[in-house]
A and B are shown apart, each in its own frame.
Chain A
């Protein structure tokens, strides 16, 4: 049996506050003091063209550097270090675009689930629009990630167009593809939980690769599990946490840790499982 470790105990205390923690992170990403530190990347999906963005978007930087044929040491280094520490905890607890989708999911509309295989689309987006298209075709290509990104459309294009309209200037419209993706996204967030994160997010795709080796991970204790499958119902993303606790599609919202026998907990690699035969698995 695994005793609830420090990370697990902390999780139990703060899990009900997740939405407030996400809101608190907004203060960092949106920079109310007007800081524009675009010489630094953040580890979250937030367009640097947003009038309030404090930091540069790592995906935007990787794509832009790809178009320049320059290796983005800062962005890649940051993602490796943060990914190794937290994995997709960033997605569940800090990302402003994920937060927006979580808020929309609170609207009581019918929610549809996605087939498991759709989780792999994110890697297609990562390899295609973030790496291959910028490198081979440059930033003018219509499939360059920033030209199709709904975060860019919502956080940058919409406020910019509003500003132009208010100032009486000519409105510069984004491409039809970008507007269509934004419209589809705005509809989807009310009917699918976190559609961007689960289907297309290239940053989530990168962080998910670290889930199995990150310092913080989801620990499953086989001894505690009663096979009640309550965790299946607690997980809103169609994952079966007792089978794959560190699934690539997991955003580590940690809702599954609410399962009453404490079979699932947030673990850290620095805390040894105190076991009677050590049957906890860190898969």
Chain B
């Protein structure tokens, strides 16, 4: 593999990585169902917010395939990961 090929592959990989990062940070969101004062609500969680919730078992996927928040809207998220 010569230098130019390596630079090309490197450039493409960095571009791909940066594009995924930017998309994840700025544009990607997931619909999460939650409870607010006993009523079901749908939230659009950004990927960074979902990441934070996932790290403390604040979101789970139920048997129907829906992603559910494990705590009520307005309540404090769990502090520790369940694993």
Contacts and interface: CB of A to CB of B under 8 A. Distances in A.
Contact of A78 (B17, B56, B60, B80): B17
Contacts of B30: 68, 70
Interface string B10-28: 1001101111111111001
A92 interface: no
Contacts of B9: 213
Contact of B24 (A73, A83, A152): A73
B61 A84 contact: no
A80 interface: yes
Given A61-B55, A70-B30, A70-B50, A212 B20 contact: no
A39 B48 contact: yes
A273 B7 CA distance: 14
Contact of A80 (B16, B25, B54): B16
Interface string B51-83: 110111101110001010000000000001111
B55 A73 contact: no
Given A65-B54, A76-B20, A139 B83 contact: yes
Contacts of A65: 50-51, 54
Given A70-B67, A74-B48, A272-B3, A213 B10 contact: yes
Nearest to A64: B54
Contact of B10 (A78, A139, A147, A215): A215
A70 B6 CA distance: 32
B17 A49 contact: no
Contacts of B65: 69
Contacts of B3: 269, 272-273, 282
Nearest to B25: A74
A146 to B, nearest CB: 4
Given A84-B14, A144-B83, A77 B21 contact: yes
A70 B28 CA distance: 10
A79 B50 CA distance: 18
Contacts of A210: 13
A109 to B, nearest CB: 31
Given A61-B55, A67-B61, A84-B13, A156 B81 contact: yes
Contacts of A8: none
A65 B51 CA distance: 8
The 8 A-B pairs at the shortest CB distance, nearest first, are namely A81-B17, A77-B20, A73-B24, A39-B48, A80-B17, A77-B21, A84-B13, A74-B24
Given A76-B20, A77-B18, A80-B14, 12 more contacts: A39-B48, A40-B48, A49-B81, A56-B51, A64-B54, A70-B50, A74-B25, A82-B17, A84-B13, A139-B82, A152-B81, A272-B3
Interface of A: 38-41, 48-49, 56-57, 60-61, 64-65, 67-70, 72-85, 138-139, 144, 146-147, 152, 156, 160, 210, 212-215, 269-270, 272-273, 282-283
18 contacts: A38-B51, A41-B51, A49-B81, A65-B50, A73-B23, A73-B28, A74-B48, A76-B20, A77-B17, A80-B20, A81-B13, A81-B21, A82-B17, A85-B10, A147-B83, A152-B81, A213-B13, A283-B1
